[in-house]
């Protein structure tokens, strides 16, 4: 039968036995399914490739009607009619394997003629299309992923010219597909990164994969921070024909990292300042506390006062604290609901974190002193707190007590007096005065406008 199959289309002298054996071996070991059938469509030969494809052994397949293996009988009849008519052709159809599953195949059909040019058999070479279909589906899926990716994905030839360019590349670099194709990759490489780009390109062409972060240049000349992944691009034989690249815009990541560094530096700065304040409070409180329990009580109250200021700053994302709320947070326990004990007057003003902490310390000392010895220690006492600005735009805060016990200057300077006269003012580059008037204590502080974040008649700094 092998010699009969080979004699297709034109009469030929019979093959010798060596040639016939060689062709039989080629057919037997072909990866494609190769079968033959009689002009009536009865299977006559069946190679191992056909068995691998459809599951039938040669013993089971030979003698069966070819039509019994074809899923669509119309396709099967067309196949036989065209082959019996002497036509050589290619067509795609579905065959049924031994389990009844459909296999999409491509069939090359040709008549087999004897030396008198009579059609004695029909030959078929069958190729499984499922792998190709899966490959095509995978290619389509990958192409879709590349098109829809938010990352810039493109390829470059061995000579360094852009050969593909996805929509995200257009967005990132500003070049349209038509503008980018066949352009040298150097169009997106800033001059300062030229050597780096050459080294990366050479490494990929050697078969390496590279990952690094760098700068690249847009069409408008602007620079963008990108994370780059580069890999060899190979043909079907494995030869490197170029590179594939993925560029991810990491500008926001860079900005976030920079912001985090600034935040950490600011946190360290604030922590140092806070520790300095606490250490000063502890030293001054210790010098003026005759016993350890008294030190603990005083120091705890002062820490709580400092905590009030911090709570307000946290609520404002550490941008500053409204002066009215800052005062209330320290004096709430002494402010009667009818407003007769403490009154507040002044415009809406937000002071910056440094001012909030230092003014808070002063307010705590004033409130503590007033509740023990001053206006808030008697039912008739009153505290008036006001703030305003001077013609020179400085910020002025005044605490004025009245209706309380007669006031006289203390015989020794305590921590509270130090805070009121020196710490709060000097830390804020201002000045403060503490007056022990007979009818009530008066404290006045003036600081530069730089410590005002925002407020009525004040230019905003945020």
Q: What is the pLDDT of residue 2?
A: 40
Neighbours of 233 (CB within 10 A): 20
| Closest-CA residue to 441 (of 376, 389, 345, 379) | 376
Q: What is the pLDDT of residue 17?
A: 56
pLDDT tens per residue across span 302-355: 676 666 656 655 555 557 788 888 888 877 766 655 567 888 999 988 888 888
Pairing type for strands 342-345 and 382-389 reads parallel
Which H or E element spans position 36? strand 33-37
pLDDT tens per residue across span 432-449: 899 999 889 999 999 988
| Closest-CA residue to 397 (of 434, 436, 439, 354) | 434
Average pLDDT, the chain: 82
The DSSP 8-state label assigned to residue 420 in this structure reads I
pLDDT band at 227 (very low <50, low <70, confident <90, very high): very high
Q: Compare 360 and 142 and report the one with higher pLDDT.
A: 360
pLDDT band at 242 (very low <50, low <70, confident <90, very high): very high
**428 in Cβ contact with 435 (< 8 Å):** no
Q: What is the pLDDT of residue 269?
A: 57
Domains, the chain, in order of start with CATH, read: 2-128 (3.30.450.20), 134-249 (3.30.450.20), 300-455 (3.30.565.10)
Q: What is the pLDDT of residue 203?
A: 94
d(CA 183, CA 274): 58
pLDDT band at 1 (very low <50, low <70, confident <90, very high): very low
d(CA 63, CA 45): 9
CA distances 225 to 17, 170, 246, Å, are 72, 16, 13
| Closest-CA residue to 342 (of 377, 396, 405, 385) | 385
CB-facing half-sphere around the CA of 178: CA atoms within 13 A: 0
Which H or E element spans position 245? strand 240-249
pLDDT tens per residue across span 47-82: 988 999 999 999 999 999 999 999 999 999 999 999
Q: Compare 327 and 10 and report the one with higher pLDDT.
A: 327
pTM as predicted: 0.45
pLDDT tens per residue across span 154-198: 999 999 999 999 999 999 999 999 999 999 999 999 999 999 999
Q: What is the pLDDT of residue 6?
A: 40
Q: Could you tell me the two tokens for 17? A: 């036995």
Mean pLDDT, residues 257-270? 66
d(CA 287, CA 416): 12
Contacts of 124 (CB under 8 A, 6+ apart): 33, 34, 35, 36, 37, 83, 107, 108, 109
Q: Compare 350 and 15 and report the one with higher pLDDT.
A: 350
What is the three-state SS of 6-19?
A: HCCCCCCCCCCHHH
């Amino acid at each position: 039968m092998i010699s009969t199959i080979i004699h297709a289309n034109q009469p030929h002298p019979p093959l010798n036995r060596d040639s016939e054996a060689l062709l039989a071996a080629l057919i037997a070991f072909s990866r494609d399914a190769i079968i033959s059938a009689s002009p009536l469509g009865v299977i006559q030969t069946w190679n191992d490739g056909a068995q691998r494809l459809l599951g039938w052994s040669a013993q089971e397949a030979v003698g069966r009607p070819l039509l019994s293996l074809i899923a669509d009988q119309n396709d099967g009849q067309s196949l036989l009619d065209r082959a019996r008519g002497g036509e050589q052709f290619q067509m795609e159809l579905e065959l049924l394997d031994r389990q009844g599953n459909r296999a999409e195949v491509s069939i090359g059909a040709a008549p087999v003629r004897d030396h008198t040019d009579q059609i004695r058999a029909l030959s078929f070479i069958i190729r499984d299309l499922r792998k190709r279909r899966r490959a095509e589906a995978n290619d389509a899926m990958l192409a879709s992923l590349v098109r829809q990716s938010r990352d810039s994905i493109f390829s470059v030839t061995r000579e360094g010219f852009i050969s593909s360019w996805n929509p995200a590349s257009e967005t990132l670099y500003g070049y349209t597909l038509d503008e980018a194709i066949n352009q040298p990759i150097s169009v997106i490489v800033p001059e300062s990164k030229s050597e780096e780009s050459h080294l990366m390109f050479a490494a990929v062409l050697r078969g390496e994969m590279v990952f690094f972060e760098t700068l690249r240049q847009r069409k408008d000349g602007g620079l963008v921070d990108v994370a780059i992944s580069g890999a060899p691009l190979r043909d079907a034989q494995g030869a490197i024909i170029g590179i594939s690249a993925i560029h991810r815009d990491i500008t926001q990541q860079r900005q976030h990292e920079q912001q985090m560094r600034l935040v950490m530096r600011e946190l360290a700065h604030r922590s140092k300042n806070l520790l300095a304040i606490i250490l000063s409070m502890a030293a001054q409180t210790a010098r003026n506390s005759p016993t350890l329990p008294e030190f603990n009580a005083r120091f705890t109250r002062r820490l709580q006062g400092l905590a009030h200021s911090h709570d307000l700053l946290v609520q404002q994302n550490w941008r500053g604290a409204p002066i009215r709320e800052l005062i209330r947070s320290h004096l709430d326990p002494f402010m009667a609901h009818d407003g007769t004990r403490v009154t507040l007057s002044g415009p809406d003003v937000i002071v910056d974190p440094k001012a909030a902490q230092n003014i808070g310390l002063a307010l705590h000392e004033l409130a503590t002193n007033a509740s023990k010895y001053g206006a808030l220690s008697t039912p008739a006492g009153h505290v008036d707190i006001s703030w305003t600005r001077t013609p020179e735009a400085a910020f002025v805060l005044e605490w004025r007590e009245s209706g309380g016990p007669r006031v006289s200057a203390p015989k020794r300077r305590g921590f509270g007096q130090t805070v009121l006269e020196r710490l709060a003012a000097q830390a804020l580059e201002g000045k403060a005065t503490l007056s022990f008037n007979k009818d009530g204590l008066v404290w006045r502080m003036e600081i530069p406008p730089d410590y005002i974040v925002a407020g009525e008649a004040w230019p905003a700094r945020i």
